[in-house]
Chain A
C-alpha cells in the first residue's frame, strides 16, 4: 500500500486515492475531423510499461483534486507527483 504525496495535501495513505490510468492522453481538439483510427487510439490504446509509468490519480477522500503520478511499475516506487497541466517529467536513465 503506497504513500502518495498529494501535491495539494502532502503525504497520505493510498486508501484515500483512486488511480485513473495513464496520464497525458489529451482529448483531441478536433474530434469531428480525425479518423476513426485516431479517435480509437485516444479511446482505447494505453501503455503498459515495465518501468516508469505516468498515471492520473485523484485524492477522493481528501481535496478531491486530480494530479499526475510518475511511478515505477516494477518497484512501485513513486518517483514524482505533480499537478495537472505541468509538463511530463523526463525519465532518467539511471
Chain B
C-alpha cells in the first residue's frame, strides 16, 4: 500500500505527479512538492536512522534545516553525500537515499547493543577509558572512528561544477517569512537594491502552514499578493533554496544557493551550487525561530516530533503522521495543531504542563472531543521502532515533583512544543550580543554591532499583528537610513486563531537527578546527550558552558544544537540554581548549516587551483621530454632524460657536459628587478651587506640581503646598466618577497630616496650558457667583443645575439666560464633554438635544476632557502667577505653584534665528505655527537645539500654544524633512518676549482 498516511484532500503536493524514489533499497512513491521526509512519512516509514552513540532508532523530529535525527546518505557513487537532512531534500525522480550509522541494516542494527550498555558510556567515556597508556590512543582511535560517526564521504572525485558570485547590494534580508517579505516590500517600494534570501523552495515561512487572516480576510491570498508584488519589483532580487552561511565583518555574508541539487538530471550548463559572497550596506535578519523540544524520558523515539513539524506535514504535504496523537505542550499556540489533526481525522489527546487553560481553547477542545490533561507531563515512552505508548503523571509545581497515579496512553505519534527559540546564529556570528528573556525563556538579540536590523520572531517578537507592521516599517526605515525616499506606511490587521503565549522552559523538574537515573531524557538528539550527561559534567567540574559543551558534545554535530542549546543551558541554570544569563551561551560560528567544500572552492580546482608560470622556452622543454619541477608557481625543467636514462644518469651526463664542453640552462625564472633613480646606489648600500658606491657602469656584483635580524633572506647579482640604472636579480622563489621588501623601505622608512623599482622578471628570457666552450660558441652569434680583456668576469655588455637585442652578463653559478644571455621574452624560444642548432658541434646540452644544484654545490655556492633557513647570518655561512666593515649602516648590520649572533657555538656552514666515498647522505640528516641505539642523541647539526658529484666521482655534502669552522678535518657521524651510521669528514665548502680559475678564463 502506497501513501497510506496521505490525507484524502489537502496539502500542496501535486497528486497528479507521482515521483519514484528509493530508500534503503526499497522503492516508494511520493508526489511533486514532497520532501524526502514527507514522502517517507506518507509511506509510513518512521525509522530513518540510528543515533550517533547508542544506535537508538530515530525518526523525523522537525520539518526544516534544524533537523538533528533524520539525516541520510543521499545519492550514489561520486555524487553521494553524507548527513543530508531528509527534511530539506526536495523529492526528485529516481532519488536514492539510505540510513546512516547502522549495520547491517537500520531495522536490525548490531550497534544498538550500545543502548543496553549505555551505563558504561557516560559523558566523557572515551576520554576516561582510552586515556591510558597514551601510546595506545592511535590504536583505539582506529576502532572508535569506525564505530562512531555519521555518513560516508564519497571516495571518487566530485564531477559537479560549483560557481561563485560576488554581489553588492543596499540591503540584504535573510529569511523570506512574513517579516522578511514585508521588510523587503518596504525597502523595495523605496527603490533601493534589495536581496532577499530564503532557504526554502517557497517563500512565506511558517504562515504557509497555519491559517491566519489579514484585515479579516484569508491571509494566504494576501501573502500571495505580497510575493507577487515583490517578484515584480526590478530592484528586488529573490534567492530561494539559498542558505545564509556566514556573517562576517562589515556586513559581508556568504550564502549557498542550491541550483540543481533538486533536479533529477544533472545539468551540463548550470552549476550544482552557487556560493554567494555578499557585501551590503545594511542587513535585516528575519530568520524566524525554531520550536523547542520538551525533555522527558525516551523523548527520541520515531513518531515523536515537534508540533510545528506535524502541522507542516499535515497542512503542506497532506500527510497525517499518526492517527492517535498526543500533543505535549506548555503553550497555547500548539493547540492549533491539535485542532488541525482532529479536523483531518486523527484522535488527539493533549498533555499540558500548565494548570490554567484559556477558556476559549478549553471550549474548543471540548467541542472537538480532545481530552486535556492539565498540569501533567509525559514521563516515559515505549515502542521499539516507533512510539506506541506513553506514561503520564501529574506535576506538582510547588513541590517540584511528580505525583499521583501513572497513566498510560496508547498513541502512534507524539507532538511536542516547548516554546520557541529565535534563530540567533547569524546575529551572534555578527557579534551581536544576546540576553536571556525571562518571559519567553530563551536567548533573544540584545546589542547590535553591525549596520543591521533584526525583526520578527528572530527578534523574540511572536505577535503576528505587531510583526506585520513593524517589519514593513523596518524595511522603510532601512531604506531611509540609506537616503532613499520614504513610502507610505500601511496598517494591516493580522490575526491567528490562537496567539503565541509565553512559555516556561518547563519540565526541568523532570531532569532532576533521581528521575534521570537509568533513563534517557535527550537534550541533544544528534549527539546522544542526555540530561544525565549534563548533570554528570557539572558533578565532574565541567561547569563553564564551553566545558560542558566539549565534555558532553551537546550542541555539536551537523545541526550545531539548533534544537538543543537552550534546553541544555536551562538545565545547567536549574542545576546551579543560577539565572540562565549567568550560565551564558557558547559562541556561534559559521557555517550556519553544513555546506559542501566544493562550493567554497568554486572554480579554483584542478588546473585553476593555482596559476602556472611558464617561460617562453617552455614548449621546447616539453617537446624535448624535460621532466619538470615546481619552483613556486614556475614550471622548471628538472632534467632532460635521453633514451631510457634515469635521473642519476641524466644528471651525470648533463654535469659532465657543462664541465667539459657546453651546457645551457633556462634561467628565465630568476627574479629580475629594474631599479632607477639618483639614490639607487645609496639604496643598494642599505639593502645589501656589501658596498655598491664604487660599482662601475657595465659591472656586476654579487650581493647578500639580510633582514633586520641579521639573517640572510635572499641573494643575487646586481649590475649597473647606467648612471642611475641597475638590474637586480633575485632567487626564483624570492622575487616577489624581495620586491615587497624594497618597496617597504622606500615607502615607509626612506621616503626621501628617489628610487623606482619595477619587476621585469617576465620581460626577459634568460639563456645561461656554461662550460669551457661557451666563449667559442657565443662568438659566432653576437656582435659583442667576448675577448677576455674586453669582457672579463663579472661584467655586463649590451649588443645583439642571433640578431636580437640582448643584455649579456658574464656571471657564473656553475664555476665554469659562463654567459647569461637576456633577450626580450618573446625572442626566448627563437634564440634558444638558434643556440641548440649552432651548439651541435660543442655537443650543447640542455640541463635542468638538478644539474644546476650539483654544479653549484661542487663550488660551495649557497642556495638561500636550502642551505639557509632564515636563522643564519652571513658569518654563519662563512661569508664575512661580503659584509662591509666600512659601511656605517645597512639592514641587519646592528644584529650581527647581538649576543645571540656572536655565540661561538652557532651552527656554521661546512662541507662533508663521507668516508666510504659512496653513501649519499639524505638531505636533512642529523649530525650527532655520538650515535646511540635510539634517540635522544646530542645533535650537532644537519645536512643541507647532498649529491653525487659526477665531476669528482664521489658524493659531496653541505651542512650546518655547531662550531663547524673549528672542526675542519674532524670526524662526525650521521645516523640514517635505516639504522646505518655513516662517518664523514668535515671539510671546507668548495669541492671543485678551489682557486676559482675556471670562471675567470
Interface on A for B, CB 8 Å cutoff? 1-3, 13, 20, 26-28, 30-32, 34, 36, 39-40, 42-43, 56, 58, 64-66, 75-76, 84-85
Q: Is residue B893 within 8 Å, beta carbon to beta carbon, of the partner chain? A: yes
Contact A32 B893 (CB under 8 A): yes
Give the most central of A1, A65, A85: most B CB within 10 Å.
Answer: A1
Segment of B647-655, B656-664, B894-902 engaged in the interface with chain A: B894-902
Nearest Cβ on chain B to A35's Cβ, whole angstroms: 10
Q: Is residue B252 within 8 Å, beta carbon to beta carbon, of the partner chain? A: yes
Contact B249 A43 (CB under 8 A): no
Contact B748 A84 (CB under 8 A): yes
Which residues in A have their C-beta under 8 angstroms from that of B749? 26-27
Given contacts A2-B249, A13-B279, contact A66 B899 (CB under 8 A): no
Contact of B249 (CB < 8 Å), options: A26, A34, A40, A76: A76
Q: Is residue B743 within 8 Å, beta carbon to beta carbon, of the partner chain? A: yes
Give the nearest-CB partner of B752 in chain A: A85
Nearest Cβ on chain A to B915's Cβ, whole angstroms: 43
Contact B279 A84 (CB under 8 A): no
Contact A65 B747 (CB under 8 A): yes
Contact B279 A39 (CB under 8 A): no
Given contacts A1-B248, A2-B249, A76-B249, contact A66 B894 (CB under 8 A): no
Give the nearest-CB partner of B746 in chain A: A66
Contact of A66 (CB < 8 Å), options: B449, B743, B895, B898: B743
Contact A43 B708 (CB under 8 A): yes
Nearest Cβ on chain A to B713's Cβ, whole angstroms: 15
Give the nearest-CB partner of B890 in chain A: A31
Bound: A78/B744 CA distance, A:
22
Which residues in A have their C-beta under 8 angstroms from that of B8? none
Contact A64 B743 (CB under 8 A): yes
Given contacts A34-B894, A42-B708, A75-B431, 11 further A-B contacts (CB under 8 A): A1-B249, A2-B249, A32-B889, A39-B894, A39-B895, A43-B709, A43-B895, A58-B743, A66-B748, A75-B449, A85-B751
Which residues in B have their C-beta under 8 angstroms from that of A34? 894
Contact A31 B893 (CB under 8 A): yes
Which residues in A have their C-beta under 8 angstroms from that of B449? 75
Bound: A66/B751 CA distance, A:
11
Bound: A61/B889 CA distance, A:
32
Give the nearest-CB partner of A23 in chain B: B748
Q: Is residue B16 within 8 Å, beta carbon to beta carbon, of the partner chain? A: no
Can you sample 20 A-B contacts with CB below 8 Å? A1-B248, A1-B252, A2-B249, A2-B250, A3-B250, A26-B749, A28-B894, A31-B889, A32-B888, A34-B894, A36-B898, A42-B708, A43-B709, A56-B748, A58-B743, A66-B747, A75-B449, A84-B747, A84-B748, A85-B751
Bound: A36/B888 CA distance, A:
17
Interface on B for A, CB 8 Å cutoff? 248-250, 252, 279, 431, 449, 708-709, 740, 743-744, 747-749, 751, 888-889, 893-895, 897-899
Give the most central of B709, B747, B897: most A CB within 10 Å.
Answer: B747
Which residues in B have their C-beta under 8 angstroms from that of A40? 898
Which residues in B have their C-beta under 8 angstroms from that of A65? 747
Nearest Cβ on chain A to B889's Cβ, whole angstroms: 6
Give the nearest-CB partner of B893 in chain A: A31
Which residues in B have their C-beta under 8 angstroms from that of A28? 894
Give the nearest-CB partner of A75 in chain B: B449
Give the nearest-CB partner of B253 in chain A: A1
Complex A-B, nearest 9 residue pairs according to Cβ-Cβ distance, in ascending order = A31-B894, A66-B747, A1-B252, A1-B248, A3-B250, A76-B249, A27-B749, A39-B894, A66-B748
Give the nearest-CB partner of B899 in chain A: A36
Give the most central of A13, A27, A39, A42: most B CB within 10 Å.
Answer: A27
Which residues in B have their C-beta under 8 angstroms from that of A27? 708, 749
Bound: A2/B249 CA distance, A:
6
Bound: A56/B744 CA distance, A:
10
Bound: A75/B248 CA distance, A:
12
Nearest Cβ on chain A to B788's Cβ, whole angstroms: 41
Bound: A28/B894 CA distance, A:
10
Which residues in A have their C-beta under 8 angstroms from that of B743? 58, 64, 66
Give the nearest-CB partner of A20 in chain B: B744
Which residues in A have their C-beta under 8 angstroms from that of B899? 36
Which residues in A have their C-beta under 8 angstroms from that of B250? 1-3
Bound: A43/B709 CA distance, A:
7
Give the nearest-CB partner of A26 in chain B: B749
Nearest Cβ on chain A to B302's Cβ, whole angstroms: 43
Bound: A36/B361 CA distance, A:
83
Bound: A32/B749 CA distance, A:
17
Contact B895 A3 (CB under 8 A): no
Bound: A31/B749 CA distance, A:
14
Which residues in A have their C-beta under 8 angstroms from that of B895? 39, 43
Bound: A85/B749 CA distance, A:
9
Bound: A64/B740 CA distance, A:
9
Give the nearest-CB partner of B744 in chain A: A66
Which residues in A have their C-beta under 8 angstroms from that of B888? 32
Which residues in A have their C-beta under 8 angstroms from that of B747? 65-66, 84
Give the nearest-CB partner of A29 in chain B: B889
Bound: A68/B708 CA distance, A:
21
Which residues in B have their C-beta under 8 angstroms from that of A58? 740, 743-744
Given contacts A27-B749, A66-B743, A84-B747, contact A39 B898 (CB under 8 A): yes
Contact of B894 (CB < 8 Å), options: A13, A32, A75, A76: A32
Bound: A64/B744 CA distance, A:
10
Which residues in A have their C-beta under 8 angstroms from that of B709? 43
Nearest Cβ on chain B to A90's Cβ, whole angstroms: 21
Bound: A66/B747 CA distance, A:
6
Which residues in A have their C-beta under 8 angstroms from that of B708? 27, 42-43
Give the most central of B708, B748, B749, B898: most A CB within 10 Å.
Answer: B748
Bound: A27/B308 CA distance, A:
66
Bound: A42/B894 CA distance, A:
11
Give the nearest-CB partner of B757 in chain A: A64
Nearest Cβ on chain B to A43's Cβ, whole angstroms: 6
Nearest Cβ on chain A to B92's Cβ, whole angstroms: 36
Nearest Cβ on chain A to B918's Cβ, whole angstroms: 46
Bound: A39/B896 CA distance, A:
11
Nearest Cβ on chain A to B446's Cβ, whole angstroms: 16
Bound: A27/B708 CA distance, A:
10
Which residues in B have their C-beta under 8 angstroms from that of A76? 249
Bound: A1/B429 CA distance, A:
12
Bound: A85/B740 CA distance, A:
19
Which residues in B have their C-beta under 8 angstroms from that of A2? 249-250
Bound: A64/B759 CA distance, A:
12
Which residues in A have their C-beta under 8 angstroms from that of B249? 1-2, 76
Which residues in A have their C-beta under 8 angstroms from that of B898? 36, 39-40
Nearest Cβ on chain B to A78's Cβ, whole angstroms: 9
Give the nearest-CB partner of A66 in chain B: B747
Bound: A65/B746 CA distance, A:
10
Nearest Cβ on chain B to A64's Cβ, whole angstroms: 7
Nearest Cβ on chain A to B715's Cβ, whole angstroms: 22
Which residues in B have their C-beta under 8 angstroms from that of A66? 743-744, 747-748
Bound: A27/B740 CA distance, A:
17
Nearest Cβ on chain A to B472's Cβ, whole angstroms: 29
Bound: A42/B431 CA distance, A:
35
Bound: A20/B748 CA distance, A:
12
Nearest Cβ on chain A to B254's Cβ, whole angstroms: 10
Bound: A76/B431 CA distance, A:
11
Give the nearest-CB partner of A76 in chain B: B249
Bound: A14/B249 CA distance, A:
10
Bound: A36/B740 CA distance, A:
27
Bound: A84/B752 CA distance, A:
12
Contact A3 B748 (CB under 8 A): no
Give the nearest-CB partner of A28 in chain B: B894
Bound: A85/B677 CA distance, A:
21
Contact of A84 (CB < 8 Å), options: B252, B751, B889, B893: B751
Bound: A71/B895 CA distance, A:
31
Nearest Cβ on chain B to A61's Cβ, whole angstroms: 12
Nearest Cβ on chain A to B807's Cβ, whole angstroms: 26
Which residues in B have their C-beta under 8 angstroms from that of A42? 708
Nearest Cβ on chain A to B761's Cβ, whole angstroms: 15
Give the nearest-CB partner of A44 in chain B: B709
